């Protein structure tokens, strides 16, 4: 974070300064990054005592000070050993400080802000953009999937006077949330990947999802760039909602950055990258042809940032995994492949992962889909789990292993598909599924582990990967 006095921070937050017993007051400066977890605090950092759903950060102010916190932002006075700024809402204050820091750094004239949203692919695209932007200069990007009202500001507060690119993943569970994030860090380049059923239950339907995601581009000025998916009809509609210049990506001939001759295999995906009159053969080692769209979006961003196409291709070919628990290839013993893709799951990403499993199947082995529930689908949950069960059957997946009561309907749909000569098995928990799989997997089997994060199958995928390492 840039250096600010406590008086600067008070002005930004609209709070009340309580000087610390250590002598800290209005002219005291801080430059440490901000945290909302007292266990992560290091000397000189700022602790925001948020009230969460499960706990209250005010309980941990003492621990934060013991660990070296230089400033506490809280909703009431608790511990006077260091300065405190008392505010009405610590979460809103976190966003206010992020807004001020980004504003000051932007005014220096160096910072370019890239905002990324979509129902699927945000983290993968963010990681790709970060790897490309780092070739141009100092870059700050969201850690893990920090993309909400807390994670977004925490990322923004890491920018300094020398930061050239901020890559901000911007997610939402309702209308208005992306607008708040873009107000904190107004994008120079705004990316919309997809509009699908991920979190549709929280949004209240696909049209509300469209409305929420379109907030990424509706407020852009003419000088900004909207990077939009030409192949997604709902994303394509957003071109009419923005004043910004539009740059298309996709497989369509109408895309400015496009891919052709896409071939998926167990080693990754090969495709021809086409930009204008230039074309490059790309060996993209990230598993799953659906990640090609993320690669195209990242390419469009990198070109807007000023990276040449040769360097873009080098960055794509240097990437070996999208992100932790996203089509992560593990295992290897006796030719057994474990694909751990259980960080999140929507109908679109589940469908894409199953297609990948079918495409990369080894002729001498079986394909096993270990599937858990897709969360936050609301009224669409039943029919979408039905659809995935039927798709697994129709793709010829050798066996479906369904885990967890919330996914049982997927299992029932699979076994009710009478034309299938395979089988589906159901387990209440991951431990039982692990015992079954370790006892039945054969050499050269390819196993996909896929679920929403809430289903908890990430650790099952890790355990299988270790067991067959």
In angstroms, rounded to a whole number, what is the distance separating the alpha carbons of residues 69 and 61?
Answer: 9
Strand partners, 227: 191, 247
Q: Write down all domains in the chain, each with its CATH number in brackets.
A: 4-88 (3.40.1390.10), 108-318 (3.40.1190.10), 328-467 (3.90.190.20)
Residue 377: per-residue pLDDT: 82
Q: Rounded to the nearest 10 degrees, how much is the dihedral formed by the CA atoms of 70, 71, 76, 80?
A: 40
Tokens of 304: 């807007």
pTM of the model: 0.86
In Å, how far are 262, 401, 443, 444, 462 from 440, measured between CA atoms?
34, 12, 10, 12, 17
Binding residues for ATP: 118-124
Residue 118: per-residue pLDDT: 93
- State the Cα angle at 27 between 26 and 33, rounded to 5°: 90
Binding residues: 118-124
Residue 287: per-residue pLDDT: 87
Q: What is the pLDDT along the chain (469 residues), one digit of tens a residue?
A: 999 999 999 999 999 999 999 998 999 999 988 889 899 999 999 999 998 777 899 999 999 999 999 999 999 999 999 999 999 999 999 999 999 999 999 999 999 999 999 988 898 999 999 999 999 999 999 886 677 888 999 999 999 999 999 999 998 877 899 999 999 999 999 999 999 765 555 556 778 889 999 999 999 999 999 999 999 999 999 999 999 999 999 999 999 999 999 998 888 899 999 999 999 999 999 888 889 999 999 999 999 999 999 999 999 999 877 566 678 888 889 999 999 998 878 888 899 999 999 998 888 999 999 999 998 787 888 999 999 999 999 899 999 999 999 999 999 999 887 555 558 999 999 999 999 999 999 999 999 999 988 888 989 999 999 999 8
Tokens of 388: 């995935």
Residue 288: per-residue pLDDT: 86
Residue 149: per-residue pLDDT: 87
Strand partners, 245: 225
Which residue carries 């708040």 as its tokens?
Answer: 180
Residue 420: per-residue pLDDT: 54
Note whether 121 and 194 are within 8 A (CB).
yes
Note whether 289 and 356 are within 8 A (CB).
yes
In Å, how far are 101, 162, 165, 186, 370 from 106, measured between CA atoms?
9, 11, 10, 10, 46
């Amino acid at each position: 974070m840039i250096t600010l006095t406590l008086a600067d921070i008070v002005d930004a937050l609209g709070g009340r300064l309580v000087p610390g017993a250590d002598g800290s007051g209005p002219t005291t400066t801080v430059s440490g990054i901000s945290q909302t977890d007292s266990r992560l605090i290091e000397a000189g950092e700022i602790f925001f005592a948020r009230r969460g759903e499960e706990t209250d950060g005010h309980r941990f102010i003492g621990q934060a000070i013991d660990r070296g916190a230089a400033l506490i932002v809280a909703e009431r006075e608790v511990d006077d050993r260091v300065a405190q700024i008392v505010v009405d809402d610590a979460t809103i204050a976190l966003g206010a400080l992020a807004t001020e820091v980004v504003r000051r750094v932007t005014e220096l004239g160096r910072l370019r802000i890239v905002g990324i949203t979509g129902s699927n692919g945000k983290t993968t695209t963010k990681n790709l953009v970060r790897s490309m932007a780092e070739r141009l200069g100092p870059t700050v990007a969201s850690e893990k999937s920090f993309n909400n009202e807390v994670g977004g500001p925490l990322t923004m507060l890491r920018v300094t006077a020398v930061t050239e690119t901020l890559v901000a993943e911007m997610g939402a569970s309702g209308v208005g949330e992306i607008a708040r994030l873009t107000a904190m860090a107004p994008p120079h380049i705004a990316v919309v990947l997809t509009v699908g059923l991920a979190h549709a239950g929280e949004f209240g339907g696909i049209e509300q999802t469209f409305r929420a995601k379109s907030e990424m581009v509706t407020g852009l000025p003419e000088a900004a760039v909207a990077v939009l998916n030409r192949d997604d009809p709902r994303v394509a509609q957003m071109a009419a909602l923005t004043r910004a210049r539009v740059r298309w990506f996709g497989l369509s001939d109408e895309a400015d950055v496009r891919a052709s001759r896409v071939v998926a295999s167990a080693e990754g995906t090969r495709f021809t990258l086409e930009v204008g009159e230039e074309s490059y053969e790309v060996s993209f080692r990230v598993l799953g042809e659906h990640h090609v769209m993320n690669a195209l979006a990242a390419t469009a961003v990198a070109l807007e940032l000023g990276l040449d196409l040769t360097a873009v291709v080098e960055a794509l070919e240097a990437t070996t995994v999208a992100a932790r628990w996203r089509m992560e290839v593990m295992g290897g013993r006796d030719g057994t492949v474990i694909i751990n893709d259980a960080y999140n799951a929507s109908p679109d990403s589940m469908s894409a992962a199953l297609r990948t499993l079918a495409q990369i199947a080894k002729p001498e082995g079986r394909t096993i889909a270990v599937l858990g529930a897709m969360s936050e689908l609301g009224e669409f949950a039943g029919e979408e789990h039905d659809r995935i069960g039927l798709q697994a059957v129709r793709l010829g997946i050798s066996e479906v292993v369904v885990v967890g009561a919330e996914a049982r309907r997927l299992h029932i749909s699979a076994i009710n598909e009478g034309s299938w000569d395979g089988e589906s098995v159901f387990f209440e928990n991951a431990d039982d599924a692990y015992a079954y799989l370790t006892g039945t997997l054969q050499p050269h089997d390819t196993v996909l582990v896929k679920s929403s994060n809430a289903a908890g199958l990430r650790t099952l995928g890790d355990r299988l990967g270790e067991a067959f390492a």
